[in-house]
A and B are shown apart, each in its own frame.
Chain A
Amino acid sequence: MLSYVLKRMGSSALVLLASTLLVFILVINSGDPLQELRESNADNVEFLIQQRIEFMNLDEPWYSRYWIWLSGVLGCLGGACDFGTNISGQDVGVLTQQAAGASLRLVFIATVFAIILGVLTGIVSAIRQYSTFDYVVSFIVFLFFSLPVFWAAVLAKDWMGIRFNNWMADPGVTWPTTITLAVIGAVVIPAIIGGPPKRRLITAAMTFVFVMIALPYLDWLNFARYPQLGPAAIAIIGVLFAVGLTALLAGMKNRRVLYSALIVVGLGLVSYYATFWLLIDPPGGWLLIAGLFLLAIALSVLVARLMGGHAKNLATTVSVLTAIIVSVLVLLDHFIRAWPGFLAIKPRPIATIGSVSPNFTGDFWEVSLDQLTQLVMPTMILMLVSVAAYTRYMRASMLEAIHQDYIRTARAKGVNERTVVFKHAFRNSMIPVTTIVAFDFAALLGGAIIIERVFGWRGLGNMFIEGLQNADPAPVMAYLLVAGTAAVLFNLIADLLYAVLDPRIRV
């Protein structure tokens, strides 16, 4: 295993090295970095030209310039990184650090959400092939897929930004809106759940009534400005998920799985109270939260191992998923608690530009909310495009799996539909999708260039474009290193995931 990883990383490093050489040569030949100075009529143009030659080593031949850059970067191995200087003599290492944080956060979150959403809709539309739901999803997905990002971004700014903020100032739901939403719900939910006509009718009616009651109630609570969750809601939602996940993945008859999931919900509630004051102002910020999250996962694994009996593995999956859901709910509760205070500081929560609000001060939750609200729109747009792709891939891959002989065999020997779908079909169909996700991360970094531009972020994309415009290799190479390393890393993760997904693959 270790030797395999090392071998993979070695070969990736070589590929990266070769690509840096290629890109370096392309960039330095893409223009004349002294052009604007040659047009300048400043008194000390000679001095400026000399200075720029020094910054960019223009007096050296190309191989020597490349070597200077490469040896600087290789210095990272010895702890003394030097990414070179850009056209105006700024340290590219510092610039990259500033730029990479926001960009990677954007792309990472967008990828994670796109995977979850894409895989889920893909599975459902494959299982309900040629149903109305399938057609509608296909239509929407193709719509997203063909959206020009810059145009979608401008629309999003208007609807999700400006109009949403206007609405936030005095939130309210009118009866026509409520009825429309209820009707949409009554059409969509039964289409997803499926079943015979009678069941669909009942689902539709229930959904309709639920929305008609819930929306006006939330409106009455002024939920948009003063949202509440609280331990009771966490408990109810947690239990619903515990039961639902058990039903989906293990079947309700498997009591051990059900009990371990319910115990995890109970522990989640206990930890909600136990950590409440700690999390009001978490020391260490996200590190602490990540640590608590890992602790929750570990606890849930422990519970499942103790409780699971013969269904240990199944119980672990369900418990861990339940633990994730409950942790997210607890996190959400804290965000929700901070929301009214946050609105007081930033009355128009969704901004159309920037990766953070300038000079935003608040406690940990308010600052995080600020970052999140700045992230929402760019992430959504970046996500929509890849969700579209993932849904299609997942659907195709799932359909292929469902029509395999071993699925027919499984059905023939009486395995129930749930096990067929999740255990036999889903797992096998994930293999090609994993490959695509790995490639896609690096591709999304490229797509983020446009998003960053439209939303006024100074991320990696901006660095890349400016570098290219000035025939300035150092920033472009820094971008290449970050994107390349991310690509290599994600491919490695994909390789390792293959082994998890397909027991035949031994690495």
Chain B
Amino acid sequence: MRLRKLSAAVAITASGALILSSCTPGGEDDNGNGGEDPGQAEGQQFSVEPDDTGKAEMEDDFETADDSISVSMGETEFVSYNGFTPETYNVYNSTIIDQVLGGFWYWGTDNVQYPNEEFGEWEVTGEDPMTIEYTISDDAEWSDGTPITNADFILDWATQNPELSDGDDSPMFNQVSHTYGENVPDGPEGEPDEKTFTIEFPQPDADAEIRVGSPMPAHVVAEQNDMDVEELVEAIRDEDTDALEPVAEFWNDGEWFSDPGSLPDEELIPSSGPYKLSSWEAGESVTLEANEDYWGTPPGVSELVFRFVDDGQHVQALENGDINVIRPQATVDTREQLDGLSEDQFVMHEGEAATWEHLDFNFADGSPFADSPELREAFAKCVPRQQIVDNLIEPIFPDAEVLDAREVLNFEDHYDDVVDESYEGQYDEVDIEGAQELIEEEDADGTEVRIGYQAPNPRRTDIVSEIQASCEDAGFEIIDEGSEDFFAPGGAQESGDFEVALFAWAGSGQVASGQNIYSTDRPQNYGEYSNDTVDELFSDLASSEDEDEQQDIIVDIETELWDDLHGIPLFVHPDLTGSDASIQNVRHTASQSQITWNAEQWQRAE
């Protein structure tokens, strides 16, 4: 349940398929945020100590051990080799596909982009318009021996190009995102059988360097439609929709989508990553085996098994050795269970995920907060943020702290700088008297505040009780409006029947994804917030390609959002994973790629 929300939401793992709309309400216990290095855990072993938040470089003699490691992310079943359709695009599917389909980059443990140098490299070659040149490694080839070439990336672009549409103007390819196609209208330039291509952004794009993701095999798609790769590329470039129709059909609903338990034929699902799909037991597991033809560092073990197990069973299964790496729900109970395991044999990885909880005001007509910055301030003064973290989050994650920003999370690099410059600590301490004064000045004693959230969610219910206890002293009347259809059509969120909404956003690692949340009339601006300065700052941010400039704009945005009180950030969700201590290189990450982000480096210590 938990991850399903997140999945609908987010989960850009190492795919280029980043959607601007990738922020949706995150589920309850999604993930958390972290300390200095989110990847540290007591008792974990490394074959090579990582020196940054990216993957450590393995020794030259790192070899595939004849061994099996099993991991479970939860009970959601594998769906398809093509994990880029909206039906198949979720965290669980991506954790598996990420091991099979390689790409130019990945997210580090603090949600920062790192290049995957084994796959290839890229370079910004022009500033205006922005042009990026990608070079695929000479050795890179699919596990069936076909070289990875520009053609694969041209197909990847084509599937995200909304210009390729069928009769009724909807995109032909059922892709989860079409941003890449919109921002790069001409697609990758380069001969299909070569290994260097360039893409050009006519409009500036702050997230330009994450648009190109992991491609699917163009030669398989071509072959299935009785074309050769050149014909396929030609049809794409000529926008020959008649020729592309069977291609789109194959891509949307072809042999890649098989019944549970039966993988498509081996030649249809070649691998460009360290592992390849080997077998699938419906409802039980998917097994990956080492891709012997992988040109880079060989994977750690010959067999990596993803098991689909309800996360309530994870800890005992870990203890019994049925699963070696687990990702149970981050609750006090699971923490205690994991804590109770022998420290020599098991490692508890605790940390934070890129999902953060916050209170948002309703700015729609009729809301008492809409036109009254004073009341918003009064409310912010009485919300016991520190107490909420102490009582509800610290038991799960002892290093938890209050979150003081929205566009950067506290495990990210610039968090301290941004907070220092944008927030003066005015809401750190509960100030009941100050709130009372403000309410009296506004003559608003007894104002009803309905706090809406998606129920059932015990933690949010507790948060509301804490606010209730504190803010009622100040003069607000807090009403717990948690309901099962808060976000449903016709629910309280849509009809605007709330004064404050309590939910979480799942961060995506993109620079400008907040535009959809804070800019006027944007789809995720649920509280109908409108602030010209913020609108302007976000459109600057979205078109800025310079990192320092982006940071400055983010500071301005945070300052404005604190001054105008769009809402109150609370905390970053905690995350718990457990692993067998004998397995080296298991490392927590705050990014959406999950604990399996470096699974190809996992190996049992000798």
Binds B, one of A34-42, A129-137, A317-325, A406-414: A34-42
Q: Please name all residues of chain B whose beta carbon is closer than 8 Å to the beta carbon of A350 when the two chains form the complex.
A: 320
Name B68's closest neighbour in chain A (CB-CB): A359
> Could you tell me the distance in whole angstroms from the C-beta of A212 to the nearest C-beta in chain B?
32
Contact with A along B167-189 (1 / 0, CB 8 A): 00011001011100000000000
> In the complex the two chains form, is B317's CB within 8 Å of A353's CB?
yes
Given A454-B313, A456-B313, CB of A354 within 8 Å of CB of B307: yes
**Which of chain A's residues has its CB closest to B176's CB?**
A42
For residue B284, CB closer than 8 A to chain A, the reply is yes
B196 at the interface (CB under 8 A from A): no
B interface, size bucket? 35 or more
Q: For residue A45, which residue of chain B has the nearest CB? A: B86
Give CA–CA (A94, B280) in the complex, Å.
14
| CB contact under 8 A between A356 and B8, given known A90-B260, A157-B320 | no
User: Chain A residues near B523 (CB, 8 Å)?
Assistant: 41
Q: Please name all residues of chain B whose beta carbon is closer than 8 Å to the beta carbon of A162 when the two chains form the complex.
A: 316, 319-320
Q: How many angstroms between the C-alpha atoms of A456 and B285 in the bound complex?
A: 11
- Which residues of B (334-371) have their CB < 8 Å from a CB of A? none
Of A38, A161, A356, the residue contacting B320 (CB under 8 A) is A161
Inside 8 A of B170's CB, which chain A residues have their CB? 44, 46-47
CA distance A351 to B317 in the complex (A): 8
Chain B residues whose CB sits within 8 angstroms of the CB of A353 once the complex forms: 307, 309, 313, 317, 322-323
Q: Which chain A residues (26-69) contact chain B, with CB distance < 8 Å?
A: 35-36, 38-44, 46-48
Contacts of A79 in B (CB 8 A): none
Verify if B70 is at the interface (C-beta below 8 Å from A). Answer: yes
> Which B residues touch A351, using CB under 8 A?
317, 320, 322
- Provide the bound-state CA to CA distance between A454 and B313, in Å: 7
Chain B: CB-nearest residue to A164: B320
Indicate if the CB atoms of B287 and A158 lie closer than 8 Å. Answer: no
Known contacts A48-B86, A98-B260, A98-B282; is A352 also within 8 Å of B322 by CB?
yes
Q: Are B86 and A458 in contact (CB under 8 A)?
A: no
Bound complex: CA A42 to CA B170 (Å): 13
Taking a contact as CB atoms under 8 Å apart, the answer to whether A356 and B86 are in contact is no
- Whether B283 pairs with A352 at a CB distance below 8 angstroms is no
Cα–Cα, bound, A141→B420 (Å): 67
Task: Indicate with 1 or 0, residue by residue over A103-137, a CB within 8 angstroms of chain B CB atoms.
Answer: 00000000000000000000000000000000000
Is B437 part of the binding interface, using a Cβ–Cβ cutoff of 8 Å?
no
Distance A301 CA – B459 CA, assembled complex (angstroms):
67
Kindly provide the distance from the CB of B452 to the nearest chain A CB, expressed in whole angstroms: 15
Given A39-B488, A47-B170, A95-B260, A358:B70 Cβ within 8 A: yes
> Does A302 lie at the interface of the complex (its beta carbon under 8 Å from any beta carbon of B)?
no
Question: For the complex, what is the distance from the CA of A351 to the CA of B313, rounded to whole Å?
Answer: 12
The interface residues of chain B lying within 8 Å CB-to-CB of A47 are 170, 174
Q: At the interface, yes or no: A455 with Cβ under 8 Å from chain B?
A: yes
Chain B residues 245-296 with CB under 8 Å of chain A are 259-261, 279, 281-285, 287
Rounded to whole Å, the gap between the CB of B95 and the closest CB of chain A is 16
Given contacts A90-B259, A351-B320, is CB(A456)–CB(B310) below 8 Å?
yes
The listed residue (A41, A358, A453) touching B285 by CB distance below 8 A is A358
Contact of A44 among B86, B307, B488 (CB under 8 A): B86
Find A358's partner among B260, B287, B319, B321 (CB 8 Å cutoff).
B287
Which of A43, A158, A161 makes the CB contact (< 8 A) with B177? A43
User: How distant is the Cα of A123 from the Cα of B75 in the complex, in angstroms?
Assistant: 44
- Chain B contacts for A157, CB-based, 8 A: 316, 320
Q: Which residues of B contact A354 (CB under 8 A)?
A: 284-285, 307, 309, 322
Known interface pairs A41-B523, A42-B176, A43-B177. Does A359 touch B279 (Cβ–Cβ under 8 Å)? yes
What class of interface size applies to chain A in its complex with B? 35 or more
In the complex, residue of chain A having the shortest beta-carbon distance to the beta carbon of B79: A88
Q: Please give, as numbers and ranges, the residues of chain B lying within 8 Å of A255 by CB-CB distance.
A: none
Residues of B within 8 A of A44 (CB): 86, 170-171, 174
- CB of A91 within 8 A of CB of B285, answer no
Chain A residues within 8 Å of B171, by CB: 43-44
Asked if B387 lies at the interface with its beta carbon under 8 angstroms from chain A, I say no
Nearest CB on B from A315, distance (A): 48
Q: Is A435 an interface residue (CB 8 A)?
A: no
A407-432 vs B, Cβ < 8 Å mask (1 yes, 0 no): 00000000000000000000000000
| Most chain A beta-carbon contacts within 10 A, residue among B21, B178, B283 | B283
Closest A residue to B87 by beta carbon equals: A88
A348 close to B (CB within 8 Å): yes
Rounded to whole angstroms, the CA-CA distance of A456 and B328 in the bound complex is 14
Residues of B within 8 A of A46 (CB): 170
Closest A residue, CB atoms, query B303: A359
Query: 1/0 per position for A214-237, CB-CB distance to B under 8 A?
Result: 000000000000000000000000
Contacts of A41 in B (CB 8 A): 21, 24, 523-524
Q: How far is the CA of A486 from the CA of B424 in the complex (A)?
A: 70
CB distance from B276 to the nearest CB of A (A): 14
Against B, the Cβ 8 Å flags (1 = close, 0 = not) of A340-366 are 000000001011111110110000000
8 A Cβ contacts from A458-481 to B = 458, 462
Indicate with 1 or 0, residue by residue over A430-462, a CB within 8 angstroms of chain B CB atoms.
000000000000000000000001111110001
Also in contact, A99 and B316, with CB within 8 A (given A47-B174, A453-B310)? no
**Most chain B Cβ neighbours within 10 Å, of A40, A44, A355:** A44
Q: Which of chain B's residues has its CB closest to A354's CB?
A: B284
Closest partner residue, chain A, to B289 (CB atom): A359
Closest residue to B252 on the A side, CB-wise? A47
Q: How far is the CA of A161 from the CA of B259 in the complex (A)?
A: 33
| Interface flag for A154 (CB, 8 Å) | yes
Give CA–CA (A454, B310) in the complex, Å: 8
Q: How far is the CA of A356 from the CA of B322 in the complex (A)?
A: 11
B8 touches A91 (CB 8 A): no
Minimum distance in angstroms from A493 CB to a CB of chain B = 30
Whole-angstrom distance between the Cβ of A377 and the nearest chain B Cβ: 11
**Does B78 reach chain A (CB closer than 8 Å)?**
no
* B303: A residues at CB distance < 8 A: 359
Assess whether A178 is interfacial by the CB under 8 Å rule.
no
B308 within 8 A of A: yes
A161 touches B316 (CB 8 A): yes
CA distance A42 to B174 in the complex (A): 11
Bound-state CA distance A457–B281 (Å) is 11
CA distance A498 to B351 in the complex (A): 64
Q: Which residue of A lies closest to B261 (CB)?
A: A98
Q: How distant is the Cα of A158 from the Cα of B337 in the complex, in angstroms?
A: 12
Query: Contact flags (1/0) for B298-315 with A, using CB distance below 8 Å?
Result: 000001010111101100
Most buried by A among B21, B176, B317, B524: B317
User: How many Å lie between the Cα of A26 and that of B313 in the bound state?
Assistant: 31
> What mask results when residues 7 to 35 of chain B are scored 1 for a CB within 8 Å of chain A, else 0?
01000000000010100100000000000
Query: Shortest CB–CB separation between residue B519 and chain A, in angstroms?
Result: 15
CB of B284 within 8 A of CB of A358, answer yes
Closest to A457 in B: B283
List of B residues within 8 angstroms of A98 by Cβ? 260-261, 282-283
B487 within 8 A of A: yes
Closest to A39 in B: B487
A residues 130-175 near B (Cβ < 8 Å) are 154, 157-158, 161-162, 165
Instruction: Tell me the complex Cα distance, A352–B171, Å.
Output: 46
Please give me the residue from chain B that is nearest to A43 by CB atom: B178
Contact of A38 among B281, B488, B524 (CB under 8 A): B488
B489 interface residue (CB < 8 Å to A) = yes
Query: What would be 19 A-B contacts, judged by CB atoms less than 8 Å apart?
Result: A40-B86, A41-B523, A43-B171, A43-B176, A47-B170, A48-B87, A91-B259, A157-B320, A161-B320, A162-B320, A348-B320, A348-B321, A352-B317, A353-B307, A354-B285, A358-B285, A359-B305, A454-B310, A456-B309
20 additional A-B residue pairs with CB within 8 Å, beyond A40-B86, A352-B316, A358-B287: A39-B487, A39-B489, A42-B8, A43-B178, A44-B86, A44-B174, A88-B79, A91-B259, A157-B320, A158-B316, A162-B320, A165-B320, A351-B320, A354-B285, A354-B307, A358-B305, A359-B305, A454-B310, A456-B310, A462-B283
Q: Which 5 A-B pairs have the closest CB atoms?
A: A458-B283, A358-B285, A456-B309, A42-B86, A98-B282
